[in-house]
Amino acid sequence: MKSHLVLHIDRIACDARGTCAELLPELMELDDWGYPIIADGPVPQDLERLAHAAVELCPKMALQLRAREGGTRSVLVPTDELRL
Amino acid sequence: MSSMQLLDLMVSNQVTTRTQRLLPPEPWASAGLAAHLERHGALVQHPSSDQWREATLGEIERAGLVGRGGAAFPTGQKLRALLAHRGKPIVIANGTEGEPASMKDRVLLARSPHLVLDGAALAANLVGAGEIIMVVHRDVRGSVDAALAERRLIRIDSTKIRVVTAADGFVAGEASAVVNWVGRAAPIPLGKAPRMTERGLKGCPTLVQNVETLAHLSLVGRHGADWFRQVGTADEPGTILVTLAGSLVTPGVFEVAIGTPTSDVLELAGGPSAPIQALLIGGYFGTWISAPASLSVPFSMGGLGVGLGAGLIVALPAAGCGVLETARLVRYLASQSAGQCGPCKFGLPAIAEQLDLLAEGMPVRYDDLTRWVDEIEGRGACSHPDGVARHVRSALDVFGHEVSEHLAGRCSARERQASRAFPTEELL
């Protein structure tokens, strides 16, 4: 099942720390310089928790989850979601 | 040649076309307010009337005017977007023209500054803006200042207008970079969200509109949608300013109806000065198309199959080497990255390096090159990497034969040195 969320990277803030790709190898790979490439499409539902964690743990706060339908606001992560 | 001398040359090379709307009929006709009003008449506006605003926005939408700065975004839709947000809007007329080979915005501001100012005033009245900021290339600052002084004498404008000299650099003309330049003296792009129309300069909804678009807007405001659509094609109505450069007899800035046969467009510049192998359309961020096949088709997105961008056409002579020219332009584009986003900061120089090696007929990591081109697309805060991807992909396609030659360590071009097709003074 696909969720209604998509991953978004603030490319200016991103500093190639690679945390996201480590947590979410299913959705993120790194280019030759360590910057993430996001897989196309919305986040599958079974990866949502990991995606939320990746958002929370990005040291540059460059990763966001956004609503799929043209939403621009980042989705607030409920604290419960972070208990993996 | 200094850029001012180049500007003079571009103006003096002007050929009057049947569909000339924006530029005065005579190259050296006065650009003053009296001549302007005599030619175009006054632009009547009723800023306090909702009925006037709705009717005018309707005309603009029906006219089908799209932005002439490169992205071709529908102007009516952009104006409406500003109305949807809270706060006192600001209008920025963008005459930065960071594209090194393009001269059309400068020629327009030198020859018809009042048309642009009229368009900015109209846009400001339509969205209820409290301020207009004219961001203009240093070469035409004097022309814009003089025009503004004339207007202040007779108090023609109800909105406050100030002029800012544009920053240098290829990405300085990108909408968010212009806002960043005016607001923080840093001509580098901001991230994509939120949109400028929502929160731009000083947090206000900001309309950043190319100066040519504003000039067209002022004419739609005067004459309406039907008039605007009298020339051009049904899908791409109106005229467009083009900068014709490269291997042409008299390069310059000209105004053409969209849909004019491409060969007729080139004839305005006296036609090719040597046989042509390819045209770069739009800008350095644009697309290569092969000639002579493309010469017989209409100069439009529908005809050429590529966007008209900022209206640049550069003609590459058959004797030149497309691989060499591409390598040179991409090296320039890589040097112009603001360096804020990793994929652009590291990807562009890597692509440029491989293209340099290819141009020299040296061993190349060709698979990496094409993969990097695919990977940088869509991964910048602005569309600079996307433009490079588009440029390189079209070059590898159009110059496919020459690429194969270079991969085998050969070059079939008669002229190995970089041609004079592209302005060199701003390049490396």
Which of 322-341 (B) contact A at CB < 8 A? Answer: 340-341
Residues 6+ apart with CB under 8 A from B424: B418
Residue with tokens 């897989």: A39
Structure token digits, residue B397 = 């396609």
Q: Do domains B20-228 and B322-407 have the same CATH topology?
A: no
Rounded to two decimals, what is the model's pTM? Answer: 0.92
How many whole angstroms from its chain centre is CA B427?
A: 18
Please count the other Cβ atoms lying within 10 Å of the Cβ belonging to residue B190: 21
Residues of B in contact with A16 (CB under 8 A): 342
Residues of A in contact with B337 (CB under 8 A): none
Residue B196, pLDDT score? 87
Structure token digits, residue B297 = 């088709």
Residues of A in contact with B343 (CB under 8 A): 11, 31, 33, 35
Q: Does domain A5-69 have CATH number 3.30.70.20?
A: yes
Asked if the Cβ–Cβ distance from B379 to A11 is below 8 Å, we say yes
ipTM score of complex? 0.86
Q: How confident is the model at residue B159 (pLDDT cuts 50, 70, 90)?
A: very high
Structure token digits, residue B89 = 């809007």
* pLDDT tens digits for range B325-339: 999 999 999 999 999
Query: Is A72 in the B-facing interface, judged by CB distances under 8 Å?
Result: yes
CATH T-level topology, domain B322-407: de novo design (two linked rop proteins) (1.20.1440)
Asked if the Cβ–Cβ distance from A12 to B372 is below 8 Å, we say no
d(CA A23, CA A45): 15
Residues of A in contact with B195 (CB under 8 A): 72
Give the range among B1-15, B19-33, B64-78, B123-137 with minimum mean pLDDT.
Answer: B1-15
The nearest CA of chain B is from the CA of A41 a distance in Å of 14
Strands B131-136 and B90-95: parallel
Residue B418, pLDDT score? 56
Asked if the Cβ–Cβ distance from A12 to B194 is below 8 Å, we say no
* pLDDT tens digits for range B119-145: 999 999 999 999 999 999 999 999 999
Q: What is the DSSP letter of B85?
A: S
* pLDDT tens digits for range B276-318: 999 999 999 999 999 988 999 999 999 999 999 999 999 999 9
List the single residue in A with minimal CA-CA distance to B373.
Answer: A31
Between residues B3 and B329, the one the model is more confident about: B329
The answer to whether the beta carbons of residues B288 and B391 sit under 8 Å apart is yes
The nearest CA of chain A is from the CA of B321 a distance in Å of 30
Residues of A in contact with B340 (CB under 8 A): 11-12
List the single residue in B with minimal CA-CA distance to A74.
Answer: B193
d(CA B40, CA B113): 13
* Percent composition of chain A: helix, strand, coil (DSSP 3-state, to 5): 25, 25, 50
Residues 6+ apart with CB under 8 A from A76: none
Asked if the Cβ–Cβ distance from B191 to A35 is below 8 Å, we say no
Question: Nearest Cα to B84, choosing from B213, B210, B178, B195?
Answer: B195
The answer to whether the beta carbons of residues B43 and B143 sit under 8 Å apart is no
The answer to whether the beta carbons of residues B258 and B297 sit under 8 Å apart is no
Cβ pairs bridging A and B (under 8 Å): 44
Q: What is the mean pLDDT of chain B?
A: 93
Mean pLDDT computed over A5-19: 95
Give the domain ranges of chain B: 20-228, 322-407
Asked if the Cβ–Cβ distance from A12 to B340 is below 8 Å, we say yes
Q: Tell which of A6, A8, A12 to mutate to test the B interface (max B CBs under 10 Å).
A: A12
Q: How confident is the model at residue B12 (pLDDT cuts 50, 70, 90)?
A: confident
List the single residue in A with minimal CA-CA distance to B345.
Answer: A33
d(CA B105, CA B215): 10
Please count the other Cβ atoms lying within 10 Å of the Cβ belonging to residue B364: 19
The nearest CA of chain A is from the CA of B311 a distance in Å of 29
Residue A71, pLDDT score? 45
Asked if the Cβ–Cβ distance from B343 to A35 is below 8 Å, we say yes
The answer to whether the beta carbons of residues A33 and B342 sit under 8 Å apart is yes
Q: Does domain B20-228 have CATH number 3.40.50.11540?
A: yes
pLDDT greater than 80 at residue B193:
no
d(CA B240, CA B115): 15
Residues of A in contact with B191 (CB under 8 A): 10-12
Query: Is A83 in the B-facing interface, judged by CB distances under 8 Å?
Result: no
